[in-house]
Amino acid sequence: MELGAFSVSLAVKDLEASKKFYEKFGFKPFVGEPSKNWLILKNGDHVIGLFQGMFEKNILTFNPGWDSNAKKLAAFTDVRELQRRLKAQGVQMLKEADESTTGPASFMAVDPDGNTILFDQHV
């Protein structure tokens, strides 16, 4: 099952303080809009999203259709197909993608320990 690019989305209290902290580990701004309280940082293929005031807990994020540089993949498993496969295996959804649509969509699941997993397709 191809899940797409992986990142950790962190719920941060102070975007600038978190940016400066992760820069000490070699992360550099990749994309984002600090004026809208979000920033994506990269160190090689490692990606961390910083989100101030957007959600309560950290989230594991998969982006079907993207590589680690946010470039569209030639072939990928659509987010709705991933959702169907996971539901068939008994994974409970917090939010579901509308399976009658195409293109960008997302769904969310939660693991047994309460960690949120976001599947967010932008293409």
- Does residue 73 register a pLDDT over 90? yes
Q: Is the pLDDT of residue 49 over 90?
A: yes
- Of 94, 90, 26, the residue nearest 57 (C-alpha): 94
Which residue range is the domain that position 10 belongs to?
5-121
Q: Please give the tally of structural domains in the chain.
A: 1
What is the mean predicted confidence (pLDDT) over 32-44?
97
- Domain of 114, CATH number, reads 3.10.180.10
C-alpha separations of 17 from 3, 10, 34, 79, 89 in Å: 31, 13, 12, 33, 41
